[in-house]
Amino acid sequence: MAEIIWKDRKRIFFGLPWTFTKYSISEDRLFISTGFFSVKEDEVRLYRIMDVSLERKLWQRMCGLGTIKCCSADKTMGDFEIKNIKKSREVKEMLSNMVEDERTKKKVSSREFMDHERDELDDYNEYDDHDTY
């Protein structure tokens, strides 16, 4: 098994770790384990994570917690959350850096089309070039 770099549990109010949801990160994967009697273990390769954001509601800030939201290209996991963890800002930064490093190592890039008007204009010009009058 890969060496675990970070691990924590989902916490409840007041920051107590009395839940059966465990999170961990290795060099190239993020693991989520849930359940007590029926245990479900999910993992996502870090290079499949597209975006990472942090949400900290008032009660979470008061308890020193936060939720990391991950947009993923993984087919089974899809988008997911790492809920109510301690040191959420530091974990988010660490995860974000690890994702970028892994994407660079694997030579994975995502193409984002920021300028939709330009795309529409290009589509229009394609048709215009082929028309004969």
pLDDT digits 0-9 by tens, 84-131: 999 999 999 999 999 999 999 988 876 554 444 445 445 544 444 444
CA 46, CA 29: separation in Å to the nearest integer? 5
- pLDDT score at 117: 47
pTM of the predicted structure, to 2 decimals:
0.79
Give the CA distances from residue 103 to residues 46, 74, 115, 116, in Å, rounded to whole numbers and listed in that order. Answer: 8, 14, 24, 25
Q: Structural domains in the chain?
A: 4-130 (2.30.29)
| Pairing relationship of beta strands 22-26 and 4-9 according to DSSP bridges | antiparallel
- pLDDT score at 122: 52
CA 133, CA 124: separation in Å to the nearest integer? 16
Cβ-contact 84, 67 below 8 angstroms: yes
Give the CA distances from residue 104 to residues 84, 98, 100, 107, 133, in Å, rounded to whole numbers and listed in that order. Answer: 29, 10, 6, 5, 49
Average pLDDT of the chain is 86
61 has a pLDDT exceeding 70: yes
132 has a pLDDT exceeding 50: no
